[in-house]
Amino acid sequence: MVGAASNAGGEMLRMMTMHPETELAYVADGFSAGSKLVDIHPAVQTFYDPETVLLSDSDEDLDKILDGSDVLFLAVDPGKVFPIAEKALAKGVKVIDFGADIRFRDSKTWEEWYKVECKYPQMCKDAVYSIPEIWRDQTKGKSLISNPGCYPTASALALFPFVEKGLIEKDSIIVNAVSGSTGAGRRPDFLKMHMVHDGNFRAYGVAGGHRHTPEIEQSVQMIGGEYSKIVFQPHLAPMPRGILVTIYANLKNPITDEEIYQMYLDKYKDEPFVIPHKAGDWPNTKWTVGTNFCHLMGAYEKRTQRLVMASAIDNIGKGAAGQAIQNMNIIFGLPETTGILVPPMFP
């Protein structure tokens, strides 16, 4: 893994300790190269060699990593994915990327929202963006996987059946999202300090400006065929892990709570990781901590003819590392739940 010092990287390494079919080859990180793995991620201190040191993202280290690996996980800065992935693919190493570089089929969207120029537009077209419960069929046998973002995963799973059937009015979707503090990354600053964030709740970002917005819009378009603008507003809650997205959408026609639940069941009743609940049984983020689960609920608000959905995941579980392992299991032909069907940390 390159970018192993990130929270997503740490969760990959943590989850991998429970995966029976994998072995850690190398860890690398552009920023924390040279540090000991166990100092960066105390969670795995007894699971890997205490002398393991993070390699760098230099060409030399990359060659070493690629020559000894079957799959490369990437969590690197915007723009850095392309040359690394190119080299990996040339060596027959499969790539699963955590970042946004190859998330957009149309690289113009990436250029616009991330303020960078894309020199590898073909790679974006070749990459497969996949939440397995929606697009797993497209990933089998593929070598370059774009692992979806945390908020987009929670959102798309909730919207899937309704968007697919075209029940939602264009441009009416509002995604109010809440994340735990691991979602804000590992770089320490005042707002992330325990004494400040404990007991605090706040929104962040420019209104409408979070970079997960076009990713959710793309998912909706990929599912439903029609482009629809989405309002997406993230918040931070005083807990380390967990995302809850509460989604509001205008429906073209009335629906009942029972029909909503049934539509979720139709999609997900055989899915081990996506758990629909009846209207009123709101998902708790704590049901997902440390897991690859997504708990879902939808209800119809008669007075205002709106569909209200709630979707809970662990931002670095199903929202990053868990889904990456799920995708890895798929492209290597392993049972999809291998190593990631573990219960949440509750209470």
Residues 6-25 that bind a second copy (CB under 8 A): 7, 10, 14, 17-18
CB 139 within 8 Å of CB 128: yes
Nearer to a second copy, 148 or 290 (CB): 290
- Residues 160-179 touching a second copy, rule: CB under 8 A, are 171, 174, 176, 178
Q: Are 239 and 180 in contact (CB under 8 A)?
A: yes
Q: How far is the CB of 298 from a second copy (least distance, A)?
A: 9
| In the block, residue with structure tokens 């441009």 | 171
Instruction: For strands 274-277 and 294-301, give the pairing.
Output: parallel
Write down the least CB distance from residue 103 to a second copy, Å.
Answer: 19
Of 26-34, 123-131, 136-144, 203-211, which segment contacts a second copy by CB under 8 A? Answer: 203-211
Q: Is 46 in the site for a second copy (CB under 8 A)?
A: yes
Q: Which of residues 298-337 bind a second copy (CB under 8 A)?
A: 299-304, 306, 308, 310, 312
**Distance between CA atoms of 26 and 43, rounded to whole angstroms?**
17
Piece of 63-71, 74-82, 159-167, 189-197 that binds a second copy (CB under 8 A): 189-197
Query: What part of residues 271-300 is at the interface with a second copy (CB under 8 A)?
Result: 272, 275, 279-280, 282-287, 289-290, 293, 299-300
Beta carbon nearer to a second copy, 61 or 257: 257
Give how far Cα 344 sits from Cα of 223, 292, 296, 347, Å. Answer: 29, 9, 16, 9
Backbone angles phi, psi at 257, to 5 degrees: -60, -40
* Closest to a second copy by CB, 144 or 244: 244
> Rg for the chain (alpha carbons), in Å?
20
As a whole number of angstroms, the distance between CA 274 and CA 288 comes to 11
Nearer to a second copy, 120 or 319 (CB): 319
Token pair listed for 322: 């868990």
Helix, strand, or coil here: 301? strand
Which of 25, 43, 116, 251: binder of a second copy (CB under 8 A)?
A: 43
246 part of the interface to a second copy, by CB under 8 A:
yes
> Angle between the 322-331 and 7-16 helix axes, to the nearest 10 degrees?
60
The answer for 339, left when phi > 0, alpha when psi is -120 to 50, beta otherwise, is: left
Query: From CA 211, how far away is CA 217, in angstroms rounded?
Result: 11
Nearer to a second copy, 77 or 171 (CB): 171
Chain CA centroid to CA 217, Å: 15
Scanning residues 130 to 149, which ones bind a second copy (CB under 8 A)? none
118 is annotated as an active-site residue: no
The residue whose two tokens read 């693919």 is: 89
Asked whether position 267 contacts a second copy by CB under 8 A, the answer is no
CB nearer a second copy, residue 222 or residue 231: 231
Size of the residue set binding a second copy (CB under 8 A): 82
Among 108, 125, 229, 252, binds a second copy (CB under 8 A): 229
Catalytic residue among 118, 124, 150, 294: 150
Point out the residues that are catalytic: 150
